[in-house]
Chains A and B, each alone.
Chain A
Amino acid sequence: MADADQVEILLVEDSSEDAELTLRALKKHNLANRIHHAKDGVEALDFLFSRGPHADQSTLRMLRVVLLDLKLPRVDGIEVLSQMRADPRTKLVPVVVLTSSREDPDISRCYALGVNSYIVKPVEFEEFIKVVSSLGLYWLLLNQPPT
């Protein structure tokens, strides 16, 4: 896990298997150390708005993209998304929704809330690259010198 003020990717995912597969896919490309993993909506909101364990941390300093699962315990992904879009600090942070299926009816709701793209789980690295490329984040994320 990276320091909070170094985080470039926020992964919000409650399934540990999905999270592991995603992290492994990204780790292969030296991105895992810049990823913060939130296990539910509350953790995600605490991180995004520097609350609770993240008080006094400037978590948004390097944040490039949020990978957001929709089905989350406590506060669900749609709620996280709408709170992000309602706050000027997080309003412009790109959000990529992680979905179980292309047929997920929530996808259209997410687009309505201003989501930038979606990826069908499990997150294949190639698919992830395609999405971040389309969002113009590719070089920001990948041209970092390895640590």
Chain B
Amino acid sequence: MLPPRASGIRPSLVPTLTGLHERTTAAFLLAVLVLVGVGATVFWGFGQVGAARDARQHSVTVRDRLTRLLIHLQDAETGQRGFLLTAHDAYLKPFETGSQQVRGDLDTLVRLTAPDSEVEKAIRALTPAIEAKLSELTATVNLERAGKRNAALAVVMTDQGRVLMDSVRQLVRVIGRAEADRYASADLAVSRTIAWVRGASSVGTLLAIGFLVGAIVILRRDSSSRVAMEAQLEEVSEEMKDLYERAPCGYHSLDAEGLIVRMNQTESRWLGYQLDEVIGKKTVFDLLAPEDRPNARARFDRLVGGEDIGTGEVRFVRKDGTRFAVLVSSSVARDARGAPWRIRATMVDQTEFRGARDMVNRLNAALQRHVAELEDVNRELERFSYTVSHDLRAPLRAITGFARLLKEEHVARLDAEGLRLLDVITVNTERMGRLIDDLLSLSRLSRAPLVRSPVDMARLVSGVVADRKAAGVDSGVAITIGNLPDAQGDPGLLKHVWERLIDNAVKYTAGVPEASVEIGSRRDNGSTVYSVRDNGIGLDMQYAEKVFEVFQRLHPQSEFEGTGVGLAVVQRVVHRHGGRVWVESAPGRGATFFFTLDAKGGA
């Protein structure tokens, strides 16, 4: 099978090495090309030199032939002159031989020269001149033979022979000069070629040496950077191996059948196996708790099938038979054709987590028990307050009602003291009725669901103040309302807060000259602090906390009517809104009650 694409650091090294290879190869190729060029130049140079040598040889041959032609022609003329002078046949021999040889030389020359060349044209011009000379010689010889010596001498005397001979010599000189030029130019070509080849081969060789040196330099650099990279690779792989082996997670890799092919030390330590006991010998399923195997096998098949199975929990069995739970997440590495090649899994030991989870569960259970107990207590309290409201009231009603009947129907039989006693009964039962009502109110306001909405505080407070005035509660007290920003809260519950605070303020200003109550607010630490200030009797700050407790009263009933519940209601409602309530006061100098509807203000 093909391995999957290499991962990690190797891909980043590949382009660098490829670059080095390319540059080295290019340098080598250039060196070879240059050397081939040098070889070709030398080869071409040899060709050139050979051709020049041939041309020179040819030129020598032609000139040699020309020289011989002239000699042979002179031989023929000498023979003719001798024969004419002596009429000895002995002179005819050189004449005839010379004539023949001249013709042979001429033929050879024609053969030697390339057709249509300058030389050929000159030779073609030479042929009639020679023929003319030979026919002059032959004509004179034939006249001599015929015994017409005078006629022959007359011909000689015409100087025609010398003229012909001169024209032949002239033509031969021309040809000879042309051949000499060719010889010289071939010579020049040879020396030029040799110079060119010498130069080109020197430059080429130097160039090739340069390229080879370059290639060697690159190779050396390549190999040194390769060494550096290998060192780096080794370091990285060492680090990876260390991380792999010592990670706080278990790692293993499986083949497509689930056989373990690699496992880190952490996991093998968890399992209590030596690596060689599992690698290639056990499948991962062999290590699982038997009851977890079918499910794990199914998950494995889904994973291999390409599904995302997420994270699962499985239990492993150690070599010693004990168990431990892990959270496992797996991925599949596939080959180029998409077939599963390796399954890699990461495991997190769940033992500690489970311990913590068990702890949380235990705490939760305890908490739930407490909540249940509290709910029981709460229900009990609710039942209690209901009972208070109904059953405590029934006898109270009877006392009030029958006392009243007594007063109405039997007034004639009661003296003043009797009526006073009846009034005491009535007042006290009514007070107890109010007390019960206040207690119920406190309990109800504590339980009523708190529904937050925007509250127009200014409107709410002016409504409350108007109600108080209508009920005659504020007689003689100047109530002023300052700036009251809107709030978030339960308007029904907040109405109770204002009612109790205003009633409280009004109550404790009774008997104070120019009694006044100021309602207002200020910003503090980003939240609104509402306040109700009175100029009443005030209170000692050492009791400042007590005023908010149920049934805690700072003044005797005879001085100020009250049940001791009002400020407890205020505190309960404010606390339910997440706010704070407090009082600032001094005896005889009035009191100011503050409250906020969040935890920030007034700290």
Please give the residue numbers on chain A whose beta carbons come within 8 Å of chain B beta carbons, in ascending order: 15, 17-18, 21, 24, 71, 100-105, 121-122
Contact = CB atoms under 8 A, between A and B. Distances in A.
Interface of B: 386, 389-390, 393-394, 397-398, 400-402, 405, 436-437, 440-441, 444
21 contacts: A15-B394, A15-B397, A15-B398, A17-B394, A17-B397, A18-B394, A18-B397, A18-B398, A71-B390, A100-B390, A100-B393, A100-B394, A101-B389, A101-B436, A101-B437, A101-B440, A103-B389, A104-B389, A104-B440, A105-B444, A121-B393
Contacts of B389: 100-101, 103-104
A125 to B, nearest CB: 11
A70 B102 CA distance: 171
Nearest to A105: B444
A103 B397 contact: no
Q: Top 7 nearest A-B pairs by Cβ distance?
A: A103-B440, A21-B401, A17-B398, A100-B393, A122-B401, A100-B390, A101-B389
A103 B402 contact: no
Contact of A101 (B393, B400, B401, B402): B393
Given A100-B389, A101-B389, A101-B436, A17 B402 contact: yes
B394 A103 contact: no
A108 B24 CA distance: 97
A122 B402 CA distance: 10
Contact of B400 (A71, A100, A103, A122): A122
A17 B386 CA distance: 20
Given A17-B402, A71-B390, A101-B389, A122 B444 contact: no
B191 to A, nearest CB: 131
B569 to A, nearest CB: 12
Chain B's interface: helix, strand, loop or mixed, by majority?
helix
A103 B444 contact: yes
A123 B471 CA distance: 22
Given A71-B390, A103-B441, 13 more contacts: A15-B394, A15-B398, A17-B394, A17-B402, A18-B394, A21-B402, A21-B405, A100-B394, A101-B437, A101-B440, A121-B397, A122-B397, A122-B401
Nearest to B439: A103
Nearest to B394: A15
Given A17-B402, A21-B402, A71-B390, A102 B397 contact: no
A121 B436 CA distance: 14
A39 to B, nearest CB: 14
Contacts of A17: 394, 397-398, 401-402
B407 to A, nearest CB: 13
Contact of B397 (A21, A24, A105): A21
Nearest to A100: B393
A104 B386 CA distance: 8
Contacts of A122: 397, 400-401
A102 B402 contact: no
A18 B436 CA distance: 18
Contacts of A103: 389, 437, 440-441, 444
A105 B440 CA distance: 9
B391 to A, nearest CB: 9
- Most chain-A Cβ atoms within 10 A of its Cβ — which of B390, B398, B436? B390
A109 to B, nearest CB: 13
Contacts of B441: 103
A15 B397 CA distance: 10
B443 to A, nearest CB: 8
Contacts of B437: 101-103
A121 B393 CA distance: 9
Nearest to B409: A24
A71 B390 CA distance: 8
B114 to A, nearest CB: 137
Nearest to B386: A105
A101 B389 CA distance: 7
A78 B441 CA distance: 22
Contacts of A104: 389, 440
Contacts of B398: 15, 17-18, 21
- Most chain-B Cβ atoms within 10 A of its Cβ — which of A24, A71, A105? A105
Contacts of A105: 386, 444
Contacts of B393: 100-101, 121
Contacts of A100: 389-390, 393-394, 397
- Most chain-A Cβ atoms within 10 A of its Cβ — which of B393, B400, B436, B440? B393
A145 B461 CA distance: 50
A18 B389 CA distance: 15
A64 B152 CA distance: 196
Contacts of A102: 437
A121 B444 CA distance: 20
Contacts of A101: 389-390, 393, 436-437, 440
